[in-house]
Each structure stands twice: as C-alpha cells, then as structure tokens.
Structure 1
Amino acid sequence: SLDLSFNKIRTIENVDTLTSLTDVYFVANKITKIERLDALTRLTNLELGANRIRIIEGLDALVNLEQLWLGKNKIAKIQGLGSLKKLKLLSIQSNRVVKIEGLSGLSSLEELYLSHNGIEAIADLEAVPKLRVLDVSNNRIANLSGLAPATRLEELWASNNNLSSFEEVESELKDKEQLNTVYFEGNPLERDARATYRLKIKTLLPRVIQIDAAMVRAGPAP
C-alpha cells in the first residue's frame, strides 16, 4: 500500500509505475483533481478524504476498485463511477451533494455513505440491488419514498433529517426482511413523540434489533 496522507500534496503524480498497488491513501491533502491513476488497475481501495476535490473523475481504469472514500471534499454531483463494477463501498460524506444519482453500473455496491450533504430525496437505488447499508444522516430528506428497490437493506441511518411520519416508516420498511438497524433521532418524528418514540419504532419494525445507538431490549419470554 501507499500512504501519503497528511501532507500538503496538491496534485497526484509519479504513481504510474506503481502498478501492483492495491491500497492508496491521500487523506488530508490539498488535492483538487483525481488524475493520473489509470495505471493502477489492481487498486481495490482508494482514500481521498479531506481534500479539495470538486468533480468525481479519472476513475474509469480502476475496474477492480472495491472501496472509494471521498468524504470531506467539495463534490456537488455523484458521477464518473459507471466503470466501477466491483465497487462495494462508496463514501461521499460531508460534501455538497443535493441529489442521489449517478449510481448506474454499481451493481456490486453494498454500502453507501452520504451523510452531511444537502440531499432532499432518496433516489436511484434501483441501480444498486445489493445495497445493505445506507447512511443519509444530516440531510434534508422529508420522506422515505425511494427505498423500495433496496430489498436487501440491513441498516438505515437517517438521523437529523425532516422525517415526520411513523406511518411512512412502517409502509416503507416493514417488508425489509433483513433490516436490523435504524437511526431516526433528530427527526420531527422522534422529537414530537419523545418518550414513546422507541416503542413506536419497535412496534412498527419488530425485526429491528438496534434503534439509534441503543440495542432493542427483548421482551419477556412467552
């Protein structure tokens, strides 16, 4: 692996001969553009968090990539990912994304982290049928419509949004047979229900074993 994190690197360069690399870390630099990575076709993990990247580009040759970390940049649009057929984890947390899009081609994706953006709706999940974990915490989402294609969902992190309907929680999530963890704290439905919030979620989603940071207490044995 190659770790050049926490430097003052402004451009990606001089890595084209390192063709056997599988893991590359450029965390916390001053990189503005994803470039000059075409030769690293064996790469499985690319970490570019905490830089100054505005556009997702320059990844077409990285066909073996399984994890892509782009948190804490200045990205406004999800794009440029179509060739990453083996990608299992995508993190674009703390950017400027306002729409879930550009997921076409990511048929292997299992984990999608999009917290701390400006997203208003859940969408485009039909492109990622294997999705297990979705983190959309700290956005502007007002409803859960758009989750229907995520039939394998195990964890939904949706804290600090604008969700207000328990009825919608039930209708959108009750059929998710593998769902075991939900985060809804900081939404109107949690603030308005107060003391009854956890009980309501537990009643509506009896398969869930974790609500927010706390495990669900098992009821008395029959």
Structure 2
Amino acid sequence: MSALEELVLSCSGTESIENNTFKRLSTLKSLELYKNQLKQIPIFLPSGLEILKLADNSINTLHATDFEGLVKLRVLDIRNNLIATLPSSAFSSLCNLQSLILDGNNMESVSAPLQLPRLKYLSMADNKLNSLPASFFASFESLQFLSLSGNFLAKVPLDLPKSLLSLKLEKNQLKTVRLRDMKHLENLSEFFLSENQLTAVDGAQFLPNLTTLELSKNQLQALPLRLPGRLQKLDCSNNLIQRVTAQDFQGLQDLKHLFLDNNAVSIFEAGALQQCAQLSNLALEQNLLISIPLRQVILRIAGSQVPSLHP
C-alpha cells in the first residue's frame, strides 16, 4: 500500500501490533487506533505521520523511544488510557506537535520541562494531578488552550505561558484565586473556574481581554468587583450571592450574558444593569427575589418569589 495516507483500525479489538507493521508506509499521515486493547505505543511508526490517535486503550507507560523520529507529528491523542506518570523525555522528538490530549488517565505527577515549543493545545483533564512543577510550562511558547479540569489542584499554576487564550480549571480544589498574580496573561479571553471551592475572586481587572468568566458551583457570597470592560459572559450560578448592586456592573458595557441561577439573591438594586446596554440574556432562576426592575432582556426567573414587576 505504497500510496496509503490514512489508516483507521479503531474499535477492532486489536490487542497488539507487531514491530515494524507500519514502518514502510512512507506516505501515511493519519493513523487511528482508538477503542482497542493496546497496552503500548506501536513501535517504529512511519516518519511522515502527522496525526496519531490512541484514545481508549490500556496503555500504561510512555517511553522516550515511543515517538522517536516523528518530527512531523502535529496531533497526538492518548486520552482514556492508564498512564500514571508523564516523563519529560516522552515527547522529546515531537518538535512540531501542536495538539496533545491526555485526558482521563491516572496521572498523579508530571516531569519538567517538556520541550514542545509549537504546542497550541494541551489538555490533561480528569487526571489525579495535585500540582505541577515550577518550570513545566517553560517551553510552551505558543500554547493557546490549556485544560486542567477535573484534577486535585489547590492552586493556580503561576508560570502559565503569556500566549494563553483559554484556561480551564473546573472541578479542582481551588479555594482562592488571585488574578493579579496572573496579569502577565494579557491575551486570556476565556477563564473557566466552575465547581471549585472559591469564596472570592480578586483582581479580574488585570485580565483586560477577558470575555468569558465562568464561576458557577462555588461558594461566592458576592459578585467579583472591578471586572474587565470587555467581559461578555459572566456565569455565577449556584453560589451564595445575596445582593446585586450597580457597582457590580460598573464599566461592563459589553456584557451580553449574565447567569445568577440558584443563588440567594433577595436584593437586585434598581439601575444595577443600566450600563449593560448589550445585555440580552439574564438568568435568575431559583433565587429569593422580592422585586426586580424590568429591562429589555430575556428574563428567566422561574422559582423566584416575585410578587410584582415594575418597568
């Protein structure tokens, strides 16, 4: 098969692959082997490979030689395996790797540094990580999307790359977040912090390009103050917020979506949303509202105690 470019052997019940099976497929660019019973990375893969998908197998160890010679590899998906550790030498040959997916493994620790200068997308969600080495992100000069959701992190890593556009830290054990310590992330547009143990979020104004901030299912008692002016979506549902004031939304002229479902809001100050000229979606389900000033927004207030509505 001298002209073969794409090979899909997924969901085939494959338990092992002999050495050199794919080595002579010099034109092969994409190899998909997900949902099998493989226990190791196939040895001697063709050097022209660009996409390798090994998700949903039983691979438990990564070796430095597993990806040797794969200098053209751009996408590597090893999610939902049994990998416990991530050695720093595992990806040393992958100088052009752009997307690395390691979700759903058993990783408790990772080594540093990983030399992946062109990596743009990194996901290590749903593992068992409680910390990351100080220099872990040192070589990630191009990283734009990072997901560490579903781990046991108690602190936000402080050496995150400046190039980040999206950061996902949902379902961890964060109790405090000092965004002023992250002010070097001037390009960050999306920040996801839902399902943690946050009681307060401080310093959001230091992230000037933030457009999405998700804080649902925490323990916030008030909305974050001094939010960045470019914010378009704020999700603070399922918290302990009791009062909404005009000061909370000062300067948020671009805010379009506001979610305050399942809180304890009993006071919603008149004029609180006056500056939010772009607001089109306001959700206030399951609160303790006595009254609320109506605006030209989509209101979802099911389950709240509102005896009267005043335009």
1:80 aligns with 2:126: no
Cα deviation, 1:80-102, whole Å, max 9, x if unaligned, reads 334x1110101000000011124
Query: Cα gap change, 1:128/1:139 in structure 2, threshold over 3 Å: closer, same or farther?
Result: same
Q: Secondary structure at the match of 2:83?
A: coil
What is the CA distance between 1:216 and its match in structure 2? 3.8
Cα distance in structure 2, aligned partners of 1:124 and 1:110: 15
The answer to whether the Cα contact below 8 Å between 1:15 and 1:37 also exists between their aligned partners in 2 is no
**Residue in 1 that maps onto 2:118:** 42
1:111 aligns with 2:194: no
TM-score, with length taken from structure 2: 0.61
Total equivalences in the alignment: 208
**Residue in 2 that maps onto 1:51:** 127
Cα distance in structure 2, aligned partners of 1:145 and 1:182: 13
- Of the three residues 82, 107, 113, the one matched with 1:8 is 82
Q: Secondary structure at the match of 2:247?
A: helix
Cα deviation, 1:170-200, whole Å, max 9, x if unaligned, reads 32115311100011000101xx48xxx8x99
**Residue in 1 that maps onto 2:215:** 136
The answer to whether the Cα contact below 8 Å between 1:81 and 1:106 also exists between their aligned partners in 2 is no
What is the CA distance between 1:56 and its match in structure 2? 3.2
Q: What is the RMSD computed on CA atoms of the aligned residues?
A: 2.6
The answer to whether the Cα contact below 8 Å between 1:112 and 1:133 also exists between their aligned partners in 2 is yes
Cα deviation, 1:12-66, whole Å, max 9, x if unaligned, reads 2421111110000000001112325521110011000000111133112112100
Cα distance in structure 1, aligned partners of 2:275 and 2:238: 20
The answer to whether the Cα contact below 8 Å between 1:16 and 1:36 also exists between their aligned partners in 2 is no
- Of the three residues 283, 291, 297, the one matched with 1:212 is 283
Query: Cα gap change, 1:44/1:213 in structure 2, threshold over 3 Å: closer, same or farther?
Result: farther
More deviation, 65-74/55-64: 55-64
1:26 aligns with 2:97: no
The unaligned stretches of length 5 or more in structure 2 are 1-74, 286-295, 300-311
**Residue in 1 that maps onto 2:176:** 99
Structure number with the bigger relative contact order (C-alpha 8 A, sep ≥ 6) is 1
**Residue in 2 that maps onto 1:90:** 167
Determine which structure has more spread, i.e. the larger CA radius of gyration.
2
More helix by share: 1
Name the aligned partner's letter for residue 230 of structure 2: R
The answer to whether the Cα contact below 8 Å between 2:121 and 2:143 also exists between their aligned partners in 1 is yes
The answer to whether the Cα contact below 8 Å between 2:221 and 2:239 also exists between their aligned partners in 1 is yes
Superposed, which structure 2 residues align to 1:143-182 within 5 Å? 143-146=222-225, 148-166=226-244, 168=245, 170-182=246-258
The answer to whether the Cα contact below 8 Å between 1:56 and 1:80 also exists between their aligned partners in 2 is no
More strand by share: 2
Identity among equivalent positions (%) equals 22
Cα distance in structure 2, aligned partners of 1:66 and 1:49: 16
Name the aligned partner's letter for residue 175 of structure 1: G
TM-score, with length taken from structure 1: 0.84
Cα distance in structure 2, aligned partners of 1:5 and 1:66: 19
Cα distance in structure 1, aligned partners of 2:252 and 2:276: 9
